[in-house]
Amino acid sequence: MKNFAHSWKVRVGLGLLAVYGLLALFGPALNSLLGLDPRAIDYGATGQPPSAAHWLGTTTGGEDVLAQVLAGTRGSVVVGLIAGILSTAIAVLVGVIGTFAGGKADACTTFLTNLFLVLPVFPLILVVAGYLQGGGVLMIGLLIGFFGWPGGARTLRAQTLSLRNRDFIVAMRMLGERRWRLVFVETMPHLAGWTSAMFLHAVVGAVLAEAGLAFLGITSPDAVSWGTMIQQANQQSALLRGLWWWFVPPGACIALLGLAAGLVNFGIDEIANPRLKAARRSLVKQVDKRARTIAARPEPVEQEIPR
């Protein structure tokens, strides 16, 4: 793990994710600390650009944009996490465990994957969410997660199939290793890269999907998220009226989240492949050694070396 945070990309990515995590946790508390309220209406300042009173300006309804971004982070992050965890869990269950179970279980899970793969997911979520009106971010997250796993499951299945017949798994099986340990101890660590990349992808996808749903009006009226902010801004033609401070912050939040996920993915490759790490470590060692021998070389000898 030490080497994971080695590259600046990973560090920046993790830093951004941490900021989002903190905002999701403490955003509402921060709001009350700053004396802000995402629902409070300032009748004296409607549709105002950023100012000392409202750091990120106000909406046409006179609500503070900063307060809404802070409150909305929790909504979006919760949707992303719930959907990410749910869809990754299902993908692992179906893709890895189904493949190891073999036989009928494998046939069933493959059928299920293919079925979900051809379903038009977004319209389906749209219909179901419209039908379940008012469930809030939790329901939206579960819904996105429930429909979002088949791609990941298929990838994991392909990886698992190739791993399952590799000599080291066969060798452990001949040793009499239990099946669940073959899955979780011997195989899953090799899929850690795939799985975490999938998870990040699912989180970002869910945040986008939530925004899309909100944009289409599929959201509960009391929920605040980046998506609902963009939807309201759009409803009030913020773009046409040049109220950029209303829709840029939530949009930037979504874009930055995607960027952070991408940056972290760079580092994941390395945990999944210890040989990559070792190659770099030995290179570092070689360089160190050279530096040391050069430093340790007695002066006169250095002068004798013909240039």
Partner 1 sequence: MTARKTPVPTPVLEAVGVTRHFDVSGVLGRTQVVRAVENADLTLHRGEIVALVGESGSGKTTLARLLALFHPVTDGEIRLEGTVVRPGTKAAKAYHSSVQMIFQDPFGSLNSMRRVRHNIERALRLHGHAAASKAERRQQVLELLERVNLTPAEHFIDKLPHELSGGQRQRVVIARALAVRPSVLLGDEPISMLDVSIRLDMLNLLARLRDEDGLSLLYITHDIAGARYLADRVCVMYAGQLVESGPTEEVIQHPKHPYTRLLLESSPDPERLMNPELGSAFDRTVSPGEPPSLVSPPPGCRFHPRCPSARDECRRAFPGRTEFPSGQWTHCWLHGSGGNRLTAPSNTGDHQADQRR
Footprint of partner 1 (CB under 8 A): 166-172, 174-177, 185-186, 189-190, 274-275, 278
C-beta of 290: minimal distance to partner 1 in Å? 21
* Residue 1 vs 174, nearer CB to partner 1: 174
C-beta of 27: minimal distance to partner 1 in Å? 38
DSSP for 172-202?
HHHTT--HHHIIIIIIGGGGHHHHHHHHHHH
* Residue 67 vs 188, nearer CB to partner 1: 188
DSSP for 138-179?
HHHHHHHHHHS-HHHHHHHHHHHHHHHTSHHHHHHHHTT--H
Calculate the alpha carbon distances from 178 to 106, 156, 162, 185, 200 in Å.
18, 21, 19, 10, 30
* Residue 40 vs 278, nearer CB to partner 1: 278
C-beta of 157: minimal distance to partner 1 in Å? 20
C-beta of 111: minimal distance to partner 1 in Å? 21
What is d(CA 84, CA 121) in angstroms, rounded to the nearest whole number?
15
What is d(CA 175, CA 232) in angstroms, rounded to the nearest whole number?
61
* Residue 189 vs 242, nearer CB to partner 1: 189
C-beta of 274: minimal distance to partner 1 in Å? 6
* Residue 214 vs 268, nearer CB to partner 1: 268
C-beta of 263: minimal distance to partner 1 in Å? 24
141 contacts: CB under 8 Å, gap ≥ 6 = 78, 79, 80, 81, 82, 83, 86, 206, 210
Nearest to 256 by CA among 197, 298, 193, 203: 203
Nearest to 95 by CA among 79, 117, 80, 78: 117
What is d(CA 95, CA 8) in angstroms, rounded to the nearest whole number?
33
* Residue type, position 61, single letter: G
**Backbone dihedral angles phi then psi of residue 64, each to the nearest 5 degrees:** -80, 125
* Residue 8 vs 180, nearer CB to partner 1: 180
* Residue 189 vs 217, nearer CB to partner 1: 189
Please identify which residue in the block is written with the tokens 């990040």.
200
C-beta of 270: minimal distance to partner 1 in Å? 13
